[in-house]
Copies of this chain bind each other. A is one copy, B any other.
Amino acid sequence: MPENRDLVVTFIDSLEARDWMTWADLLHPEVVYEVPQTRERIRGRDRYLQFNQEYPGDWHLRLEVAIADEVNGVAWFRWELPEAEPADGMAFFTFAEGQIATVTDFWPEPYEPPPGREHLVERW
């Protein structure tokens, strides 16, 4: 659904721009934000806005992939900080009444591959 994909793209772009008015307008007032890796949840647009405004560091977002249908959406983005390797992040979305109803973030970290698959794998 193109309209929902636009919500996903604008979510990332307005966050990158710190365009808080545009960003907050995308969100349902009762939006629920979750981070399953830390088991954290933030309820409501006002708190979620404050969370992002208070988030420390000169972080930047670069969208890699945005996909959406009538029900679900996703953004895969690069998360960049001045003194760190860029990292991948993913945000999954659901939609309600033309706005974003839920956001679920994932922040995968680098790890060493387990042994036993070197015969199939190349590293970069």
Name A68's closest neighbour in chain B (CB-CB): B67
* Interface residue? A36 (CB, 8 A): yes
Name the interface residues of A99-123: CB closer than 8 Å to any CB of B: 106-113, 116-117, 120-123
* Interface residue? A83 (CB, 8 A): no
Docked CA distance A51–B51 (Å): 41
- Contact flag A37-B111 (CB < 8 Å), given A121-B42, A122-B43: yes
Chain A, interface size: which category?
A: 35 or more
* Interface residue? A92 (CB, 8 A): yes
- Contact flag A111-B43 (CB < 8 Å), given A67-B74, A72-B67, A106-B106: no
Docked CA distance A9–B109 (Å): 26
Shortest Cβ distance from residue A102 to the other chain B in the assembled complex, whole angstroms? 11
16 other A-B residue contacts (CB within 8 Å) besides A38-B123, A106-B106: A36-B108, A37-B88, A37-B108, A37-B109, A40-B117, A42-B120, A42-B122, A51-B117, A54-B120, A65-B74, A67-B74, A88-B106, A107-B108, A107-B111, A109-B109, A109-B111
